[in-house]
Structure formats: structure tokens, C-alpha cells
Amino acid sequence: MKKSFVVFISSSIVLLIIILSVTIYLVIQLNRSDINTTTAALTPSPSLKGIVQSDYNYILKFDPNLGYIQDFHVKDNDKVAIETPLFTYYNPSKVPKINALNALLATKLSPEQTYQLNREILKYKADMYHTVQSPIKGIVRLHESVPDHNKEKILEITSEEQHILVKVPENLYTKFKKTQTVTLRSPFDNKTAKGTVISRYSTPVEPPNIDRKSFYFVKIKTTKNHPLGTHFDIHFSEPLLILPSDILLEENSVLIYKNGKLIKRIISYDKINEQLIIKDGIFVGEKVVQYPNEQKLKITALEK
């Protein structure tokens, strides 16, 4: 009895599987179409790499003739104005000279000699300390360590104003026009923002060479500041709906396959080689019949 029940259950499961498989197959066959179609989709818009830079910057370097840096009067990322004190040098080499002049003062001197020595002492004391002021307004970028070598960078002052610099190949140079709006896309979080072309250099980045392509710098402004060095993908044209010319039924019409029906649609486009840049008449996601004149098709309706 128990064995018969197991056989019954097993047979029922097998029969259910067969029924489901046949049903799925029939559904697929009913929905299957032998009509060749292509799905309308936007092509990714062309893009170039851009990097955020300050509009201007000023680098201050170490000068050992002034001694060593005793004090910093600013911190990293401080905003400074013109003539803001930045740091002070202390020059210990002036101390022996001052001591020697003070020793001379202790001797018997004429009033004129005493006056001249005091002037020299004051000069050397003034030279012991030298405070460097900011030549421009901007944001302080301190070096990681206090420099002690000639011409080593102490700090940099960058402007609050910034731009995005793009290196544009010669074949795309004319695609960037002054006041043109472009789209900035972050490669990290895919967020987008708008920018405006403010200038394009007429001189190549490197001296022209007949054996290589020339590149030109283009500057783009945004309404929002970003950390210096931030990268963006610069999209300088909108995504296009491009389809092959083999979808044409007539010069200005195609067939749309929708809900199992064929619909004739009037379209407008620009043709480049064998590609159609669709301007109107086809929407993203629609299925467009390919080689419509080579297939025996029955048009269900005409859309305008």
C-alpha cells in the first residue's frame, strides 16, 4: 500500500512537470515572432576627460639666505587676502655681528661713531626676522613638511575661483564653442552637473607635429566648486537615437512592431553613411522592423 502511494505521488509530480513544460513552450511559441526587429536605444554621448584646477596659483619657495622658518601664521586651507602674513624667517647668522657691534659700543667712541654703530645694529636686528606676506588672495595649501632646502616648496596659494580643464583632440575642437553648455558626469557616483565653455586655446598643447594628432585646452566653468584634482567626464553633445538605414519602408516611413501588430510610422531623420540619426517619429524602447520590404508583412495601422 505504501509503495503504491509513493509511485502515485512520483507519477503525479512527473506529469505536472510535463504539463508545465508544454505550457511554457506553447506560450513562448505564441509570443514568438519571425519578424526581424531592432530596439530603438540612445547611443552614449561622446565624452572627454576633464580635471578641476584653480584659475590661478602662486608658489612660495624656501630661501636659505633668509635663515630658517620660525613661525607659520596661517594654516592649511586658510583664506588669505593680499599682504596677509604667511610665515617668518629667523636668521641666526646675524647674531654674531650684532654681538660684535655691541662690544664695540662698550668702548670709547665719538658720538658720531656711536650713532653709526647703533644704526648698523638696528639694521642687523631687522634682518634677523623676515615675514613673508601673501602677494595674492586665495586659499593656502601648505607643504607636508617644513622645507630646509633651496627652492623647496613652502606653500601654494590657489584662487577660490576654479575651472575644469579639458584636453581636446583636433577632430573635436570645433565641437566646443564659447558659452556652450556641456554636461559633467562624475565617474565615481554618476552624478551630473552643467558647465559652460568659457574659453578654448588656439595654440596646441604641444608644438605641432605632422606625425601626431594635435590637442588643445578648453576651459569650462561650473556654478559649484569641487576639490582640486576632481575628474569629470565631459559630455559635449546629447545622446542620439541612431538606427541603421535598413529600417526604412519608404523614404520617410518605418514599421513599428507593437503589441503583435505592425504600425506604419512617418519619421524625420538625418542620414550619415548608412546610419539614420532619428529626429522625430521613433521613441526609445520601440521595436522597429528591419528589412521591411524583404518580409511579407501586413500593416495593421498608419500612425502620423
Residue that is written with C-alpha cell 565624452 in the block: 47
Distance between CA atoms of residues 222 and 285, nearest Å: 33
pLDDT value of position 41? 92
Q: At what angle do helices 111-128 and 95-105 cross, to 10 degrees?
A: 160
Q: Which three cell numbers stand for residue 138?
A: 586665495
pLDDT value of position 253? 93
Q: What is the pLDDT of residues 162-204, one digit of tens each?
A: 999 999 999 999 989 999 999 999 988 889 999 999 999 999 9
Distance between CA atoms of residues 171 and 197, nearest Å: 17
Which has the closest alpha carbon to 249: 261, 265, 269, 268? 265
Contact partners, residue 156, CB within 8 Å, separation at least 6:
57, 58, 59, 60, 140, 141, 143
pLDDT value of position 97? 85
Confidence of residue 30 (pLDDT cuts 50, 70, 90): very low
Confidence of residue 150 (pLDDT cuts 50, 70, 90): confident
Phi then psi for 39, rounded to 5 degrees? -90, 130
Distance between CA atoms of residues 42 and 288, nearest Å: 14
Confidence of residue 9 (pLDDT cuts 50, 70, 90): low
Phi then psi for 33, rounded to 5 degrees? -130, 135
Confidence of residue 302 (pLDDT cuts 50, 70, 90): low
Please give the domain boundaries of the chain with CATH numbers for all domains. Answer: 47-54+161-235 (2.40.30.170), 58-158 (2.40.50.100), 240-303 (2.40.420.20)
Q: Is the pLDDT reported for residue 33 higher than 70?
A: no
pLDDT value of position 20? 72
CB 78 within 8 A of CB 156: no
Higher pLDDT, 145 or 165: 165
CB 80 within 8 A of CB 157: yes
Lowest mean pLDDT among 14-18, 116-120, 206-210, 256-260: 14-18
pLDDT value of position 118? 84
pLDDT value of position 140? 95
Q: Is the pLDDT reported for residue 111 higher than 90?
A: no
Q: Average per-residue pLDDT in the chain? A: 86
